Copies of this chain bind each other. A is one copy, B any other.
């Protein structure tokens, strides 16, 4: 059976049957009407984000298996909810599919998508499907919710706040570098690139305790995303490069080629949480974590100091908060 035989409505029905709705989810209707109809918990704010994943731009089918791609499509989108301290609730999946794509691949993609949705406590409640005369295109929208007094914006960082990041940085970019060079990445690196995890539990824990003054997720790269946060907060920062958390595999590669440090700073697709915490709240940080380590990597300064990098020799230099630019050369 291929997609043309199954048809558009057959494919949608196949998706609908794969989704398990739960009574307590607040979903009045999911797939199967003109809109999804949804209740939000009383007093909570709605958080919404949308992401595109385009074949040959964000992924290559020869590098990633379909199940992982489904998982990743959810994780990168849900990561934006985590970065506000929210809880994901509803997912929407738009798929523009080249006509030669085997149904088995799409089934694996959906399997991964639904497994990840389940992991993060979100339901697939809508979407759109059509043919594509070009690459496979995936458009995902996520809706989450959170109590109004627990939203963490990018704009609250103040001079003196510590700058923290969860997990480790650079693994995903290093894996991509290997793939582009035609070398198999170490399994630890490949896993981080193909199956990133959104830090929903950590984001919720931080927001419930109102610890971060500002937060963002690292999708464009540490420098670029820190730049976004600093601009929104009208602040500057001193980053200490020796403190940037790296995995064992990354350290090994770095020992052979010190220039790889660039990937940890600007690589992107880490999906870790980058946040700032005031002096008085920093002692309360150690109490939480719970699996995911958080590392202090610098200090917020006044805006006029810009973004400065303190290297291993103690020398400080200004850096440009540039990240991945989709339209640049």
CB within 8 Å of B: which residues of A?
3-4, 6-9, 11, 28-29, 32-40, 42, 45-52, 54-58, 80-81, 83-84, 86, 90, 92, 94-97, 99, 125-135, 137, 139, 141, 143-144, 148, 151, 153-155, 215-217, 232, 325-329
Contacts and interface: CB of A to CB of B under 8 A. Distances in A.
A325 B127 CA distance: 16
A47 B36 CA distance: 6
A99 to B, nearest CB: 7
Contacts of A326: 8, 129-131
A58 B128 CA distance: 13
A48 B325 contact: no
A107 to B, nearest CB: 15
Contacts of A329: 4
Given A57-B96, A134-B135, 5 more contacts: A37-B47, A38-B45, A50-B139, A52-B95, A130-B326
Given A37-B47, A94-B52, A11 B327 contact: yes
A127 B58 CA distance: 16
Question: How many identical subunits does the complex contain?
Answer: 2
A159 to B, nearest CB: 21
A60 to B, nearest CB: 11
Contacts of A154: 32-34
B133 A49 contact: no
Contact of A327 (B8, B29, B81, B92): B8
* Interface core residue of A35, A50, A83 (most chain B CB under 10 Å): A35
B50 A141 contact: yes
A133 B54 contact: yes
